[in-house]
C-alpha cells in the first residue's frame, strides 16, 4: 500500500495537482498521478527481463562467434601444419648405383639386408652385396686394379 505525504505549505503554494506529494520509497516530490504510479511493478519486472534476454542473446551470439573463430583458426593451423610437413618431407633416399630404394621396407623383412654388409647410406642391400663380391666384368677390373695388377689391361 503506497503511503503519500504532503505539507499544507506545499499544497497552498502549488495546488493539489502540482509536485507536492512524496511517496515513501520514491526519491522526489511528485504530482499525485506519478506518486500513485509504481514503475517498479510488473512493467519493471518485464523491462528487466527483456534486458536479461537481450544480454543472454548477445552472450550466446558472442560464444557462437568465438566457437566459429576457434574452429576456423584450428583448421587454418592444421592446414599450415600439413603444408609445413609436406615442405619438410624429403624424398625417400635412393641407391646411387641402381636408383632403387635405399632402405628396405620397414614392414617386411628383407633377406638381402641380412646377407649384405652394413648399410653405408649410399647403396641398397643388393648393390652392397654386389660391391662386396664383384663378379661382373667391371667388378673383376676393379679387383685387379685394387690388387695392384692394374698395369696390364684386363681385356
Ligand atoms: Zn642399389
Spatial CA neighbour of 21 closest among 8, 38, 4, 2: 4
16 CA distance to ligand 1 middle (Å): 114
Q: What is the pTM of this model?
A: 0.36
Q: Is residue 130 within 8 Å of 124, Cβ to Cβ?
A: no
* End-to-end CA separation in angstroms for the chain: 129
90 CA distance to ligand 1 middle (Å): 19
Task: Report the length, in residues, of the chain.
Answer: 155
pLDDT tens per residue, the chain (155 residues)?
889 999 999 999 999 999 999 999 889 999 999 888 877 788 889 999 999 999 999 999 999 999 999 999 999 999 999 999 988 887 778 888 898 887 766 666 777 777 788 888 888 888 888 888 766 666 566 556 656 554 555 55
Tell me the domain boundaries of the chain: 4-36, 40-89, 91-155
Task: Report the distance separating Cα 36 and Cα 25, nearest Å.
Answer: 11
Task: Report the distance separating Cα 36 and Cα 92, nearest Å.
Answer: 90
Task: Give strand ranges (E) for 19-84.
Answer: 21-23, 29-30
71 CA distance to ligand 1 middle (Å): 48
Amino acid at each position: 500500500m503506497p503511503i503519500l505525504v504532503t505539507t499544507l505549505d506545499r499544497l497552498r503554494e502549488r495546488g493539489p495537482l502540482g509536485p507536492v506529494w512524496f511517496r515513501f520509497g520514491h526519491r522526489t516530490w511528485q504530482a499525485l498521478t506519478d506518486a500513485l504510479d509504481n514503475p517498479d511493478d510488473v512493467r519493471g519486472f518485464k523491462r528487466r527481463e527483456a534486458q536479461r534476454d537481450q544480454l543472454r542473446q548477445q552472450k550466446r551470439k558472442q560464444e557462437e562467434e568465438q566457437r566459429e573463430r576457434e574452429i576456423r583458426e584450428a583448421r587454418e593451423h592444421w592446414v599450415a601444419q600439413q603444408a609445413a610437413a609436406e615442405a619438410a618431407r624429403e624424398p625417400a633416399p635412393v641407391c646411387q648405383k641402381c636408383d632403387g630404394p635405399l632402405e628396405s621396407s620397414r614392414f617386411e623383412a628383407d633377406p638381402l639386408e641380412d646377407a649384405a654388409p652394413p648399410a653405408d647410406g649410399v647403396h641398397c642391400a643388393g648393390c652392397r652385396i654386389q660391391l662386396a663380391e664383384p663378379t661382373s666384368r667391371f667388378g673383376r677390373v676393379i679387383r685387379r686394379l685394387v690388387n695392384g695388377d692394374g698395369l696390364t689391361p684386363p681385356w
